[in-house]
Amino acid sequence: MSPHDLPRKLAIAYAILVAYACLHPFSGWRESGLPLFDYLWAPWPKYFMVEDLVFNILGYIPLGFILAAALPQHWGKLRLIVGATLLATLLSFSLETLQHYLPSRISSNIDLGANATGALIGATLAAPWGHALFARHGGLSRWRTRFIIGGHTGDAGLILIGLWLLTQLTPDNLLFGSGDIRNLLGIAPPLPFKPERFIGFEAALTASFLIAIGLFARCMMRETRHEPLIVLILLGIGAKTLAAASFFTPTDPWAWLTPGALRGLGIGLPLLALSLLLPRVVQHALAGTALLAATALINLIPENPYLNSGHSVINRGNFLNFHGLTQLVASLWPFVALAYLSALGLWRGEHLDGTRRI
């Protein structure tokens, strides 16, 4: 596999996510009657949110970094920086121009400039270190070769882990919760709300998702090591805490720390530890079973009218783009993960018997 394969895949995946966030909800396309590129020369707006500017810069830093790492190393640092920045800016320009046809969007030269600035920062950071990080014998490649199964299957698993972490940046979802498709399908919660019932459901689905994500990650690892799983779970909790601190008004970093979530952690952690002692083929089956159970539970859990009482999700600017993206990824993630586990068993089942290294 070429050392540029992973950053290229990551760049494509990230660009698709950015496009979805900028063009969501993909409805109401029409001609506004204004010149298509008029936004490029628009004056500085009278009302402006600094948070939007920062959000646009931060959103394109990873894209600039990954693009620079994906470009040929022999280009030299300056060409890498310029090339990656131009590619990211071209993406931003295309999306801002397409927003001209969406009534719920406003094309903005400030957003375009902020995106280009973020890409420039990311590309500048990647120029000296990006290729070393992704190189065949670089730090990331050595870590991947040591711990993660090889080939495109391992790459896809890493991308799915990254998407799972993205789902935890949805502040109004339950801890580790994903797979709720009721809003997508227009289905009302099937059960009425009762406090004890809700706490029981939340504890069960938190424990199920904890076991599922731990064993999902284990299935794509070459050998049993607890440290990466501990780091992954802590990153998920950290992402949820960051989302609650950043996107709730008033800020409430511990909004996810409910009685049901605490019970679920207390149940799920020891069960996950015990599951890691089982044969790999059993772990693989249990990962899929836990995902199915958790997804069923999150679609059965009653709606809690008091869950986010006292605070609300911010409702402005580019956060709406980001929130729509994380909600969609959260809704679909378990189903894609189940397909991945099935493919893993069919295509690379040799790693499940624990007798061969791949």
CA distances for 236 relative to 168, 174, 213, 231, 311, angstroms? 6, 12, 10, 9, 22
Please indicate whether residue 37 or residue 313 has the higher confidence score (pLDDT).
37
Residue-wise pLDDT tens digits, 227-238: 889 999 999 999
Q: How far is CA 56 from the centre of its chain?
A: 17
Confidence of residue 81 (pLDDT cuts 50, 70, 90): very high
Specify the pLDDT at position 356.
42
Q: What percent of the chain has pLDDT over 70?
A: 87
Residue-wise pLDDT tens digits, 214-231: 999 998 888 777 888 999
Specify the pLDDT at position 123.
93
- Provide DSSP, 133-164: HHSTTSHHHHHHHHHB--HHHHHHHHHHHHHH
- Amino acid letter at 268? G
Average pLDDT over residues 143-172: 84
Specify the pLDDT at position 295.
93
Specify the pLDDT at position 223.
75
Confidence of residue 357 (pLDDT cuts 50, 70, 90): very low
Q: What angle do CA 136, 355, 276 make, to 5 degrees?
A: 90
Average pLDDT over residues 44-58: 77
Q: What percent of the chain has pLDDT over 90?
A: 33
Specify the pLDDT at position 269.
95
Asked if pLDDT for residue 77 goes beyond 70, the answer is yes
Q: 3-class secondary structure for 47-111?
A: CCCHHHHHHHHHHHHHHHHHHHHHCCHHHCHHHHHHHHHHHHHHHHHHHHHHHHHCCCCCCCHHH
Asked if pLDDT for residue 304 goes beyond 80, the answer is no
Q: What mean pLDDT is reported for the chain? A: 83
